[in-house]
C-alpha cells in the first residue's frame, strides 16, 4: 500500500469507534495529521504529499551548499550572437524557408550580382534621416539591405522575414526550390530593366542567360526549322546516368519524331517523320545546372525524389557541347545546393559555396556556417542523410577533381576569366546609404548586448540574495512538537525554491472549506511550518488568509461530517438487509409513508452515491451546508437519471404524483431508517392527497383530446380529397371546369395532414401563413411559368370549394389565387394567367439574380466527371441532363466519379478514379474545353450536378519547353506559382 494511502486511512481510523457528537480535539488533530513524524533529509526520494510535516524534496537541494553563479540566470551570453572575425553571416529559418536561404547565400557570393544590386537607385534610403525608422518596401530594397547586412553586420545571423514577406512566400510550406530560382531571377531581371542606369538593364542576361535553339529537320524534304530560345539554367535528366557529361549529352541528343508524334512540315504541308535536337549557341558567365531529382510519378500522381549518385567535376569544359567548335569555355564549380531527405515534399536544403576572394569552401545551413578544411569541397556528411532509403546503393569512387553526390539538386559553375584574379574585382564596397542602415542595425545589436549583459548581472545578484534567504529560512521551516505552527501551500514552497519562476504572494484561498477554515482534505497539499518562518515569508511576499494551528483554523464541522459519512458507509450493508425484510410487512392503518417503487429498488445505490456526494462536498468550498441532498432538477419525467430518493413520485409542481402504480406504502420504521441516509428526501404520509393541479390538468387533457378528435374528423370529411391527395388540380393541365385556383404553402398542408392522422399527439393547425409566399411589398413571388418549371414544389393548389372550407376553419392572413383569362382573337383564342396579389417584379428579379449567383458560387455541391472512350461524345451524360456536342455514336462510358465542389476539379482525384494521368486528361462541358487551371468552377459555367466529360488523349511530343510547362501545370501538388511572388 502506498504511503499516501496509509496516511489517509490512519487519519480516519478512529471514526469506527467515535460518534460525530463525541469528537475531541485529539481526533481533529489526527484527521489533520498534525502528529505525523517529519521526514529526515536523505530518507525520502521525493516529497511525501500526504504528510504535512515532510519538508524534503521540495527543491531545497538546489540551494543548500555552494552554487555556481551561472545557475542564477537563464540568459545566454549575448556575445554568442556576435559574428566572429572573418566569418560569414547566416540566415534565420522562418519555418520552411531553408530553400530561400540557400539561394540567397549563393546569389550573395556572386560578387558581380551583389555589386549590381548596390548600384540600384534607392531614393528613400539615400534621403533617409538616421533619426527616423527606415524600412525597405520593394523587393529590390529588401535585397539591397539584406546583402549589406550579410556583408557588414555584427550579428552571427540575420532575419530575412522582410524579403520573404515582400515575395509573398508561405513560411510554413516548403515550395519548389527550382521553380523559386527561375521566378526570382525573372523578377530581378524585370526590376533591373526599369533602372535609370542603362548599365544595369542586361546584368541578369549577361550573368545567367544563354542562347540555344530547338532545330527540327524534316526527313522528307530536309527543311530545318530552328526555334531560338533563351535559358537561365539547363534542366538535366539524371535518371539512368552516372556523371554530368552523360546528362548534358542526353540533353543535346537528337530525338526522333515519328508515328503519332510526326512533325507537320510547312514545306511538305503534311505530317512527316523528323529529327529534333537542341543546339547550344552561347553560355552565360554563371551556368546553373538543375539536376532533375524531383520527377512526376505517373502511378502515384505525385512527385518523387531520385536518390541517384551523380559525378560532377570541379572544372567543366563546355566547349565540346557548343554548336560553334573551337571555342574555349571552361567553368569552375562555385556552389552546390543540397537537398537532405528522401521525399520530394519534405527535407532540408543547404548550400556549399566557394568564397570568390579566398577560394575557401563554406557550408551554409541557415543560421550555422561552417568553413571546410583545406580548399576542397567536402560533401561526405551530407550524403549520409539519404542512407534511410530502401536501395542502399554503394557510393561510387570519384576520380581526382570530381565529386559524387546523391543529394545535389543544383550545380553552379562560374566561367574562368582573367579579371577574376584582379583584387579590385573581388572587392565589393557597400554604398554609403546602405552602410548607414547597417551601422544603425549594428548599434541596435550592441545596445541589445549591453541590455542582456545587464540582465544577466541583475539575475546573478538576485540569485545570490535568494540563496542567502533560502539557506536562512529553510532551517526555520520545521515546526517543533508542542510549538505554534501555520500552514502554507506546498506548490508555493516549490515555486519559492524554483529560481525559474517568479515568486508570487502566498494564496491559501483554495485550502478553505465551506466554513472558511482549513479543509481536512487539503492537508496533503499544504505544509506545516513554524510561526517564525511563516512571519518572515508573509512579511516579504504577503498573501493570506493565515492558517494557524488554533481551533479557529481546524474545521470541527468538516471533521464531524466526514465522520458521519464514513460511519454510514460502514453501516449501509447491515441497514440494507434490515430494510429489505421490513418492507415485506404492510404498515398499520394511517401510519405509512409513500415511497417510490424505483427508489425502493435502488435505495442502496442512491444512498452510496449520496454519501459519496456528501463526502465530495466536504472537499470543496462551495458555500453549501454539508450533508444536503442535491437540488431536484428533473421533475418533469424520466428523461434523466434519478438523483434523489423519492424523486420518482414527485410531480412537476412538487407535490405527490397522481400515478399510484409508481409508489407503495412503507412502515414508519422503514421510513425512519431511510431518512438517515436521505434527510432531505420528499416525505409524504399515507393521508397525503395527490397534486390537485395534476388532477385538474389530467381532466382538461382528456377533454382537449376529445375536442381534437372531433375537429380532425370534421376537417377530414370536408377536405377528404386534399387529405388523400386525390383529384388535385395542376397547372400543366388546367382544369376546364374552373377559371380560378387558390394557393397555400405546401408546409401548411403537410402540417394539417399530420394533425388529422394523430389528433391527440399533434397540435391543431389554426392559421394559413400565406405571407411566406409574398415579398416585403406584399406581392406574389412566383410567375405562372416559374411554377411550371419548379417553383410549384413550394405550394399546394386548392379548388374553390376547398378554399371556402379553409376560410371557415382557419385564419388566413392573405388569400392568394391564380386566374385563367381567355380572350377571343382573330387567330383563335389566347389564354393568360394572373395572380392576386400581383407579381412584384422588382423582388422577382432580385430573387432570380440570387438564384443565378448561387449556381455560380457554391460549396459542398456535387459535380460529376464521366470518362468518354473511343473519342465518342455522350448524348445523355446523366439523368435529366444533356451535354451538347456532336451526335452520339456507339458510346462506351465508364462510371461517373464525384468531385467535391468545395474546391475546383482536382487532377489527382480524377486520376485515382479513372487511372488517367493529369497530362492525359482532356476535360470539357457542353462542348467547351476546360483549359484554364486557375479559373473557378462557377466562372467556367460548371454548376452543381453538372457533368464534366473526360476524354483520354495522350499529348504529342511538343517543343521541349512547352512540354515541361504542361507537365508542371498538371502537377496536383505544385505549390509555387508566379502570382505567389509577383
Residues marked as catalytic: 98, 348
CA–CA separation, 234 vs 412, rounded Å? Answer: 11
Nearest in space to 971 (alpha carbons), one of 24, 294, 66: 294
CA–CA separation, 54 vs 58, rounded Å? Answer: 9
**Residue 837, preceding bond cis, omega within 30 degrees?**
yes
Beta strand 740-745 pairing with 795-798: antiparallel
For residue 372, give the H/E element and its range: none
SS3 content of the chain, % helix, strand, coil (to 5): 40, 20, 40
Q: Is 954 exposed, middle or buried (0-12, 13-18, 19+ CB in 10 A)?
A: exposed
Please spell the DSSP secondary structure of 312-330, one letter per residue.
Answer: EESEEE-GGGBSSTT---E
Cell 561526405 belongs to 380
SS3 158: strand
Alpha-carbon distances of 416 from 114, 320, 332, 335, 823, rounded to whole Å: 18, 16, 6, 14, 97
Please spell the DSSP secondary structure of 581-641, one letter per residue.
Answer: HHTTSPPPTT--EEEEHHHHHTHHHHHHHHHHHHHHHTTS--SSPTTPPPP----S-SSS-
List the grid coordinates of 451.
541590455
The total of other beta-carbon atoms located within 10 Å of residue 575's CB is: 17
Cell 381532466 belongs to 699
List the grid coordinates of 875.
448524348
Q: No. of H helices and E strands in the chain?
A: 27, 39
Beta carbons of 918 and 932 less than 8 angstroms apart? no
Nearest in space to 797 (alpha carbons), one of 737, 735, 736, 847: 735
Tell me the torsion sign for CA atoms 235, 239, 240, 243.
positive
Cell 511572388 belongs to 981
Residue 868 β-bridge partners: 893, 951
- The alpha carbon torsion through 922, 927, 933, 936 (nearest 10 deg) reads -140
CA–CA separation, 502 vs 492, rounded Å? Answer: 11
Beta strand 547-548 pairing with 767-768: unpaired
Nearest in space to 769 (alpha carbons), one of 748, 751, 755: 748
Nearest in space to 974 (alpha carbons), one of 94, 295, 199, 363: 295
Cell 515546526 belongs to 479
CA–CA separation, 121 vs 398, rounded Å? Answer: 47
CA–CA separation, 117 vs 110, rounded Å? Answer: 11
CA–CA separation, 833 vs 820, rounded Å? Answer: 5
Nearest in space to 910 (alpha carbons), one of 963, 877, 869, 951: 951
Nearest in space to 792 (alpha carbons), one of 743, 835, 752: 743
Beta carbons of 221 and 268 less than 8 angstroms apart? yes
Name the DSSP letter for residue 306.
-
Segments of 675-749 assigned E as strands: 740-745
Alpha-carbon distances of 193 from 107, 179, 201, 287, rounded to whole Å: 18, 21, 4, 21
Amino acid at each position: 500500500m502506498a504511503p499516501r494511502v496509509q496516511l489517509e486511512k490512519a487519519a480516519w481510523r478512529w471514526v469506527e469507534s467515535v460518534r460525530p457528537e463525541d469528537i475531541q480535539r485529539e481526533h481533529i488533530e489526527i484527521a489533520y495529521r498534525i502528529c505525523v513524524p517529519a521526514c529526515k533529509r536523505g530518507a525520502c526520494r521525493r516529497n511525501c504529499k500526504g504528510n504535512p510535516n515532510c519538508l524534503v524534496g521540495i527543491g531545497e537541494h538546489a540551494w543548500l551548499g555552494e552554487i555556481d553563479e551561472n545557475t542564477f540566470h537563464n540568459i545566454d551570453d549575448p556575445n554568442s550572437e556576435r559574428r566572429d572575425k572573418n566569418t560569414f553571416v547566416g540566415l534565420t529559418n522562418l519555418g520552411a524557408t531553408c530553400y530561400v536561404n540557400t539561394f540567397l547565400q549563393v546569389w550573395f557570393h556572386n560578387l558581380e550580382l551583389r555589386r549590381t544590386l548596390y548600384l540600384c537607385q534607392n531614393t528613400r534610403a539615400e534621403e533617409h534621416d538616421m533619426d527616423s525608422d527606415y524600412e525597405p518596401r520593394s523587393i529590390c530594397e529588401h535585397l539591397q539591405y539584406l546583402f549589406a547586412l550579410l556583408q557588414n553586420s555584427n550579428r552571427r545571423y540575420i532575419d530575412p522575414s522582410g524579403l520573404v514577406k515582400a515575395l509573398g512566400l508561405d513560411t510554413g510550406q516548403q515550395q519548389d526550390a527550382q521553380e523559386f530560382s527561375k521566378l526570382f531571377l525573372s523578377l530581378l531581371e524585370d526590376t533591373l530593366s526599369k533602372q535609370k542606369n542603362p548599365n544595369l538593364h542586361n546584368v541578369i542576361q549577361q550573368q545567367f542567360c544563354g542562347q540555344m535553339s530547338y532545330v527540327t529537320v524534316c526527313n522528307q524534304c530536309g527543311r530545318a526549322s530552328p526555334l531560338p530560345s533563351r535559358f537561365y539554367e539547363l534542366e538535366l535528366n539524371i535518371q539512368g546516368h552516372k556523371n554530368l557529361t552523360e546528362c548534358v549529352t542526353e540533353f543535346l541528343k537528337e530525338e526522333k519524331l515519328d508515328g503519332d508524334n510526326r512533325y507537320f512540315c510547312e514545306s511538305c504541308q503534311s505530317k512527316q517523320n523528323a529529327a529534333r535536337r537542341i543546339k547550344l549557341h552561347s553560355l552565360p558567365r554563371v551556368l546553373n545546372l538543375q539536376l532533375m531529382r524531383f520527377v512526376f510519378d505517373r502511378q502515384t500522381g505525385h512527385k518523387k525524389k531520385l536518390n541517384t549518385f551523380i559525378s560532377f567535376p570541379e572544372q567543366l569544359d563546355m566547349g565540346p557541347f557548343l554548336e560553334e567548335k573551337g571555342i574555349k569555355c571552361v567553368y569552375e564549380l562555385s556552389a552546390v545546393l543540397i537537398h537532405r531527405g528522401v521525399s520530394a515534399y519534405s527535407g532540408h536544403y543547404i548550400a556549399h559555396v566557394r568564397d570568390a576572394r579566398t577560394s575557401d569552401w563554406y557550408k551554409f545551413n541557415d543560421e550555422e556556417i561552417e568553413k571546410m578544411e583545406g580548399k576542397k569541397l567536402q560533401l561526405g556528411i551530407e550524403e549520409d542523410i539519404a542512407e534511410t532509403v530502401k536501395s542502399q546503393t554503394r557510393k561510387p569512387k570519384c576520380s581526382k577533381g570530381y565529386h559524387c553526390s546523391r543529394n545535389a539538386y543544383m550545380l553552379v559553375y562560374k566561367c574562368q576569366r582573367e579579371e577574376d584574379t584582379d583584387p579590385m574585382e573581388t572587392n565589393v564596397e557597400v554604398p554609403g546609404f546602405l552602410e548607414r542602415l547597417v551601422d544603425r542595425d549594428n548599434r541596435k545589436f550592441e545596445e541589445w548586448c549591453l541590455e542582456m549583459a545587464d540582465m544577466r548581472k541583475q539575475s546573478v545578484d538576485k540569485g545570490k540574495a535568494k540563496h542567502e534567504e533560502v539557506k536562512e529560512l529553510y532551517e526555520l521551516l520545521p515546526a517543533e512538537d508542542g510549538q505554534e505552527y501555520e500552514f502554507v501551500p506546498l506548490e508555493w514552497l516549490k515555486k519559492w525554491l524554483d529560481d525559474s519562476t517568479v515568486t508570487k504572494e502566498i494564496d491559501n484561498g483554495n485550502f478553505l472549506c465551506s466554513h472558511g477554515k482549513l479543509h481536512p482534505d487539503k492537508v496533503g497539499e499544504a505544509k506545516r511550518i513554524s510561526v517564525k518562518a511563516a512571519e518572515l515569508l508573509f512579511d516579504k511576499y504577503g498573501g493570506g488568509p493565515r492558517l494557524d494551528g488554533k481551533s479557529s483554523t481546524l474545521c470541527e464541522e468538516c471533521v464531524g461530517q466526514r465522520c458521519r459519512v464514513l460511519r454510514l458507509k460502514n453501516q449501509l450493508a447491515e441497514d440494507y438487509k434490515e430494510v429489505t425484510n421490513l418492507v415485506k410487512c404492510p404498515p398499520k392503518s394511517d401510519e405509512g409513508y409513500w415511497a417510490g417503487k424505483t427508489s425502493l429498488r435502488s435505495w442502496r445505490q442512491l444512498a452510496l452515491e449520496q454519501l459519496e456526494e456528501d463526502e465530495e462536498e466536504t472537499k470543496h468550498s462551495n458555500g453549501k451546508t454539508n450533508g444536503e441532498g442535491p437540488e431536484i432538477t428533473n421533475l418533469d419525467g424520466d428523461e434523466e437519471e434519478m438523483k434523489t430518493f423519492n424523486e420518482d413520485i414527485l410531480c412537476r409542481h412538487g407535490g405527490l404524483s397522481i400515478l399510484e402504480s409508481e409508489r407503495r406504502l412503507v412502515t414508519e420504521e422503514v421510513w425512519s431508517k431511510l431518512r438517515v441516509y436521505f434527510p432531505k428526501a420528499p416525505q409524504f404520509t399515507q393521508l397525503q392527497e395527490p397534486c390537485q393541479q395534476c388532477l385538474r390538468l389530467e381532466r382538461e387533457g382528456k377533454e382537449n383530446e376529445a375536442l381534437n378528435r372531433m375537429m380532425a374528423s370534421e376537417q377530414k370529411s370536408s377536405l377528404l380529397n386534399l387529405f388523400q391527395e386525390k383529384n388535385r388540380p395542376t397547372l400543366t393541365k388546367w382544369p376546364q371546369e374552373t377559371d380560378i385556383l387558390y394557393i397555400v404553402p405546401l408546409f401548411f398542408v403537410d402540417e394539417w395532414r399530420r394533425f388529422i392522422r394523430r389528433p391527440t399527439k399533434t397540435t391543431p393547425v389554426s392559421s394559413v401563413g400565406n405571407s411566406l409566399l409574398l415579398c416585403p411589398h406584399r406581392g406574389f413571388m412566383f410567375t405562372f411559368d416559374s411554377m411550371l418549371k419548379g417553383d410549384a414544389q413550394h405550394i399546394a393548389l386548392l379548388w374553390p370549394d376547398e378554399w371556402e372550407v379553409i376560410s371557415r376553419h382557419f385564419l388566413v392572413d392573405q388569400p392568394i389565387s391564380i386566374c385563367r383569362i381567355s380572350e377571343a382573337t382573330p387567330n383563335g383564342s389566347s389564354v393568360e394567367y394572373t395572380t392576386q396579389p400581383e407579381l412584384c417584379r422588382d423582388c422577382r428579379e432580385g430573387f432570380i439574380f440570387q438564384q443565378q449567383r448561387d449556381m455560380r458560387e457554391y460549396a459542398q455541391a456535387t459535380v460529376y466527371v464521366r470518362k468518354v472512350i473511343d473519342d465518342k461524345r455522350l448524348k445523355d451524360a446523366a439523368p435529366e441532363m444533356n451535354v451538347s456536342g456532336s451526335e452520339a455514336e456507339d458510346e462506351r462510358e465508364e462510371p461517373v466519379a464525384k468531385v467535391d465542389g468545395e474546391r475546383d476539379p482536382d487532377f489527382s482525384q480524377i486520376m485515382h478514379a479513372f487511372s488517367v494521368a493529369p497530362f492525359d486528361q482532356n476535360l470539357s462541358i457542353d462542348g467547351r474545353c476546360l483549359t484554364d487551371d486557375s479559373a473557378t468552377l462557377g466562372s467556367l459555367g460548371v454548376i452543381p450536378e453538372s457533368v464534366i466529360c473526360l476524354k483520354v488523349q495522350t499529348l504529342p511530343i511538343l517543343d521541349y519547353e512547352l512540354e515541361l510547362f504542361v507537365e508542371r501545370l498538371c502537377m496536383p501538388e505544385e505549390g509555387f506559382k508566379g502570382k505567389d511572388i509577383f
